[in-house]
Amino acid sequence: MDNMNNMGGATAPQAKKPLDKKLIAIIAAAAVVLVAIIAIIVVAVNAGGKKKDDEKTAIFSDGLVPVCVDEKWGYVNKKGEFKIPPQFDSASSFEDGWAVVEANGIWGYINTKGEYRITPMFTYATAFDGDLAAVSIGGMWGFINKKGDYKIQPMYEDVSLFADNGLAAVCLNDKWGFINKKGKVVIQYQYDDAESFDESGLARVAVGDKYGYINKKGAYVINPMYEKAGLFGDNTYAAVSADGEKYNLIDKKGKNLFAMQYDNISTINNQNLWRVRVDSKYGFVNKKGEFAIAPIYDNASSFSETDNLAVIGTDGKYGYINAKGEVKIAPMYSAAGTFDNGMAIVAIDGKYGVINKKGEFVVPAMYESIGTISNLGIAAYKLDGKYGYLNVKKNEMITSAIYDYVSYYSGAAAFADDGYCVVKVDDKYGIIDKKGKIVIAPTYDGIAGYSN
C-alpha cells in the first residue's frame, strides 16, 4: 500500500494507471479480507516490475494516522490523541507534510496542523508527486504546483503521473499523447491508449487494437503489432502475443527471445529459466528455448528469487523442484506458495502451515489461512473464523485469534514496514504493534483507508 494514496473513507482519485482507460474517481475503502494462499497463479502476460527498496508502507505517516468517527475523518498520533479533529469526508495519509482531504464534495490539501495549504476547490485531487499534483475540475484534468497554481490547465480527459523522464501521458479528444512539465506537447496526440514511461525508458501505446512501444522522442522502437503486450518495467523482456493466444518474449529492440511460441510464459527468469505452458502442461526453458525441465506439470510457479525452488503441481498435489528438475519436496500439499527466505506456506487437507526447505513444518498445518510472511517474520492467520498474528520464525502467537479483521497489504505483508497494522473488533478499528500490543484501541469506524 502506497502511503501517498492511503485514504480514509475514500481513496483519492488517481491519475491513469497502465491500461486503465478510466480514472479512479472515488473508491469506497473496503476492508481487505485475508484470503487463503492460492496454490498457483498463472498469468498469460506478466507486466513485471519489482517493488523499489525505498517504497515503504506505513500506518503512521508524519506521526499521524487518519481515523473516522461518525462518518468524519480526522488524525490521531501514536498516543491516540486527536491532533486534527474529525471534520473531513475523506482523508489521505500524510506525505512530507501534505495530505489530500475532501470536504463537502470538493478536495484540497492540509498540513499536519490541519491548516489548509490549498483550499478545497477540486472535483478530485491526487497526492503530490514531486512538485506537481493531478487535479480535476468538471471532469477535466490538469496539474497544480504546491501554491495551488495551475502549471497545466485542466483540459485533459485523462492523465498519467509524470515519469522519471519528465513526460506524462494525456488524453485529448480520445487520443493520447505526451506532455512535459510545462504542458508542452512533446509527442502528438495519436494513440488510442498509452502508458507512462517505465524503468525501461519505453512506453506502451496502442493504435487501434494493436500494441507497440515508443521512446521518449515518440519514435517506434517496436511497431504496434501485438494484440497483447506486457510492460518491460525493470525486466529485460516483455511478454507479447501477436494473435492473443500464443506468447513469446521480446527484448527492448523487439527481437524474439525464443523461436517457438507458448500458450503461457512468465517474464521472471530466476535461475535463467522461464516457465512456459505447452498443451496445458508446464515446464521450463533456457535462453536458447531448449526445455531444461520438460513440460510435464499441471501447474508451476517461477523459481523463487531467494531459494531457487519452484512450486510444481501434479494430480492436484503440489511440491517443489530445483533448477535441475530434481524433486526436492515431493508433491503432497493441497496448496503451496513459493519459498521466500527459506519458508513457504502450504496446506494439507485445507489446513495451512509453514515449511522450511527440508519440508519440515516450522508452523504446523492447523490454520484456516495464513497471510504473506512479512519482512518482520510476522504473518496473519485465521482460526475458527477469527484472525490473529504469529511470529513464523519462532512459531509463537503474537495475538490470539480475536479479531474480526486484520489489515493485509496486497502481495506484501500483514504488518506495514513501520511495524503497525490495523485490526477490527465488533465493527470498530484499532492499531496494534508487532508485539501485539494495542496502540490505538479499536474504537473507530475506520482507520487509514479501512472502514465499514
Determine the pLDDT at residue 54: 52
Determine the pLDDT at residue 372: 86
Determine the pLDDT at residue 376: 78
The 10s digit of each residue's pLDDT in 314-352 is 999 999 999 999 999 999 999 999 999 899 999 999 999
Average model confidence (pLDDT) across the chain: 86
Determine the pLDDT at residue 377: 86
**Which is more confident, 57 or 396?**
396
DSSP 3-state assignment of 271? helix
Determine the pLDDT at residue 450: 81
pLDDT value at 29 more than 50: no
Q: Which three cell numbers stand for residue 249?
A: 518474449
The 10s digit of each residue's pLDDT in 414-432 is 688 888 989 999 999 999 9
Angle 352-358-364 from CA coordinates, rounded to 5°: 25
Residue 120, H or E segment: strand 116-122
Domain chopping of the chain, boundaries: 162-233
Please state, for a pLDDT cut of 70, what percent of the chain lies above it.
86
Please state, for a pLDDT cut of 90, what percent of the chain lies above it.
74
The 10s digit of each residue's pLDDT in 32-41 is 222 333 333 2
Over residues 348-364, mean pLDDT: 96
pLDDT value at 359 more than 60: yes
Over residues 78-94, mean pLDDT: 97
Over residues 352-361, mean pLDDT: 97
Determine the pLDDT at residue 298: 98
Determine the pLDDT at residue 449: 79
Determine the pLDDT at residue 1: 26
Q: What are phi and psi of 187, to 5 degrees?
A: -125, 120
Determine the pLDDT at residue 322: 97
Determine the pLDDT at residue 434: 87
Beta sheet of 90-92, edge-to-edge order: 7-8, 90-92, 99-103, 106-110, 116-122
The 10s digit of each residue's pLDDT in 227-248 is 999 999 888 899 999 999 999 9
Distance CA 119, CA 107 (A): 8
Determine the pLDDT at residue 417: 83
pLDDT value at 404 more than 70: yes
Count CB neighbours of 263 within 10 A. Answer: 18
In terms of Cβ atoms closer than 10 Å to its own Cβ (0-12, 13-18, 19+), residue 90 is buried
- Overall size of the chain counted in residues: 452
Q: Which three cell numbers stand for residue 169?
A: 501521458
The confidence band for 45, taking pLDDT boundaries of 50, 70 and 90, is very low
* DSSP assignments along 24-37, one per residue: B--EE-------PP
| 3-state secondary structure string across 217-263 | CCCEEEEEEECEECCCCCCCCEEEECCCCCEEEECCCCCECCCCCEC
Fold of 162-233: Thrombin, subunit H (2.40.10)
Distance CA 390, CA 385 (A): 16
**Which is more confident, 31 or 72?**
72
What is the distance between the terminal CA atoms of the chain, rounded to a whole angstrom?
Answer: 19
Q: Which three cell numbers stand for residue 398?
A: 503474537
Q: Which three cell numbers stand for residue 138?
A: 468538471
Residue 426, H or E segment: none
Determine the pLDDT at residue 408: 58
